[in-house]
Chains A and B, each alone.
Chain A
């Protein structure tokens, strides 16, 4: 009972103190879905640069796979056209299948890498594929950081209110 109350208090505190970092789209290759791999300065000290870049690059790879124009996508398009697109009522498109893979990957990354560092990665599909948002728990380093946490810094970064001002 006491644990629940304490957790609820922490939740309310955390939600108001959460810093949100947004990774914007990278349009240098056209309109395909890609996110910038530039490391945001707000995450400095929270997560290793290489891990972050690897995550974003993998995500970009998934989206490239979803939007790949090739034999299989043409086949799917032609088959759908031949059935007057009724086939989509019973079949998932290739894109949807890859989006599900992406959701699973993001969950895995959150469990293995981001949550132990007090971060939370959100699925870009929830934001209309515009941004990848990372929620940074300002309190995680203060309260329940256990011995198993691999986060180096013990104090929360004094980044100021609001999201990344540059």
Chain B
């Protein structure tokens, strides 16, 4: 006489996504697991700018121009906005193949390569494609069970395949890929400008004030200035250099990953087939091109579990090799509904002698609505 307790809690897809990501705000925010360095980035930017606005800006606004803090504020807000966009958005993660798709691909591979004897690691699976008259190899990802699109790569830190994978940046706490590369570039660009700006106006402040009260007195009055100058100095070398490097990559329509691997350099390698050959066109495409939306559907609702006795994780361990991702696909309920809607003159039921199925409770209709969103 056990009572079946139906859990009313809504499970969203982000809770069951494979990969090593952290999600916040009920799936709206997506980051890598290690966020320590990201907090350091935030602390450095916020801390330095707070000191700047609190001390130097008050003096400079009066002595020179009120536009100084205004412009600094704009730069600060822009770089924070782009940082948060880079850190919190989906970089272009490719969802893993569902079991049926993975099985289909496996069968195709075996048909072309032949079956691999038990115990032996299969050879790397590669498909060749021709893009713009050049042969590009597509690699098979063993974790995600898909053939990776060109320029995609598997991030070992986040354990996801990412489209147009650039690199995994611990400073922003996320991968940089197709969907957030422009935010990342604008972040490092605006941060460079902000760093140069703060550094320059700190020097101006110290110079102006030293004329009145002397250098040591100035430093004693606003000790934060020393800290700001130090932080800006070290940041300048790294961030400005990085901005220059990425400007070079954007102009050539390359990714950091390709540059490191030397995919398009060297005599025996193919030339970059994605470059338009024109710097302006490349920049426009990378920075102002169309932005594809996330295909992860993090906030979609998963079908409800009927009882607490069967936790969601156990139903997915039937095939440990095949990855499971909670992407809802329309099932034959949809097909059946469509077919019956269209054929208005319903034939009488077939009198096929079938044994009655075991008495299972039918799935509640709201599951279809939720699965189909």
Instruction: From known contacts A9-B354, A68-B290, A144-B340, infer whether A120 and B330 are also in contact, taking CB-CB under 8 Å.
Output: yes
Query: Does B107 lie at the interface of the complex (its beta carbon under 8 Å from any beta carbon of A)?
Result: yes
Q: Which residue of the partner chain, among A73, A116, A129, A131, contacts B342 with CB atoms under 8 Å?
A: A116
Q: Which residue of the partner chain, among A8, A68, A120, A144, contacts B362 with CB atoms under 8 Å?
A: A8
Instruction: From known contacts A77-B288, A84-B77, A127-B95, infer whether A133 and B101 are also in contact, taking CB-CB under 8 Å.
Output: yes
Docked complex Cα distance between A95 and B179 (Å) = 12
A27 / chain B contacts, CB cutoff of 8 Å = 129, 131, 136, 138, 149-150
Instruction: From known contacts A3-B349, A118-B339, infer whether A81 and B332 are also in contact, taking CB-CB under 8 Å.
Output: no
Docked complex Cα distance between A126 and B81 (Å) = 30
Question: Which residues of B152-207 have CB atoms within 8 Å of chain A's CB atoms?
Answer: 163-164, 182-183, 186
Query: Does A15 lie at the interface of the complex (its beta carbon under 8 Å from any beta carbon of B)?
Result: yes
A143 & B350 in contact (Cβ 8 Å cutoff): yes
Q: Which residue of the partner chain, among A24, A78, A93, A165, contacts B293 with CB atoms under 8 Å?
A: A93
Docked complex Cα distance between A149 and B78 (Å) = 59
Docked complex Cα distance between A27 and B107 (Å) = 21
Q: How many A-B residue pairs have CB under 8 A?
A: 182
Query: Does A11 lie at the interface of the complex (its beta carbon under 8 Å from any beta carbon of B)?
Result: yes
* Residues of B within 8 A of A (CB-CB), count: 71
Most buried by A among B130, B164, B332, B334: B332
B295 & A111 in contact (Cβ 8 Å cutoff): no
Docked complex Cα distance between A147 and B297 (Å) = 40
Query: Does B274 lie at the interface of the complex (its beta carbon under 8 Å from any beta carbon of A)?
Result: yes
A129 / chain B contacts, CB cutoff of 8 Å = 292, 295
Q: Which residue of the partner chain, among B85, B290, B332, B347, contacts A18 with CB atoms under 8 Å?
A: B332
Shortest Cβ distance from residue B105 to the other chain A in the assembled complex, whole angstroms: 8
- Among the stretches A28-36, A43-51, A52-60, the one at the interface with B is A28-36
B335 & A120 in contact (Cβ 8 Å cutoff): yes
B290 & A66 in contact (Cβ 8 Å cutoff): yes
Shortest Cβ distance from residue A100 to the other chain B in the assembled complex, whole angstroms: 10
Shortest Cβ distance from residue B76 to the other chain A in the assembled complex, whole angstroms: 11
Question: Which residues of B331-367 have CB atoms within 8 Å of chain A's CB atoms?
Answer: 331-336, 338-340, 342-347, 349-350, 354, 357, 362
A78 & B288 in contact (Cβ 8 Å cutoff): yes
Shortest Cβ distance from residue A18 to the other chain B in the assembled complex, whole angstroms: 6
Question: Which residues of B112-146 have CB atoms within 8 Å of chain A's CB atoms?
Answer: 129-132, 136, 138, 146
Across the two chains, which residue of chain A brings its CB closest to B274? A30
Q: List 25 A-B contacts (CB under 8 A).
A: A7-B336, A12-B357, A22-B101, A27-B131, A27-B138, A31-B163, A66-B290, A67-B289, A69-B290, A76-B288, A77-B288, A77-B289, A81-B287, A81-B288, A86-B81, A93-B293, A95-B292, A96-B293, A99-B293, A111-B338, A120-B338, A131-B101, A144-B346, A163-B107, A166-B111
Known: A69-B284, A126-B297, A130-B97. 19 other contacts (CB 8 A): A11-B332, A14-B335, A25-B149, A27-B129, A27-B150, A69-B285, A84-B77, A84-B82, A85-B81, A115-B335, A118-B339, A122-B329, A126-B329, A129-B295, A130-B94, A144-B350, A148-B342, A149-B343, A163-B104
Which B residues have a C-beta under 8 Å from some C-beta of A?
77-78, 81-82, 85, 94-95, 97-98, 100-101, 103-105, 107-108, 111, 129-132, 136, 138, 146-147, 149-151, 163-164, 182-183, 186, 273-274, 284-285, 287-293, 295-297, 327-336, 338-340, 342-347, 349-350, 354, 357, 362
Enumerate the 5 nearest inter-chain pairs by beta-carbon distance, A residue then B residue, closest first.
Answer: A77-B288, A128-B95, A84-B81, A115-B338, A146-B343
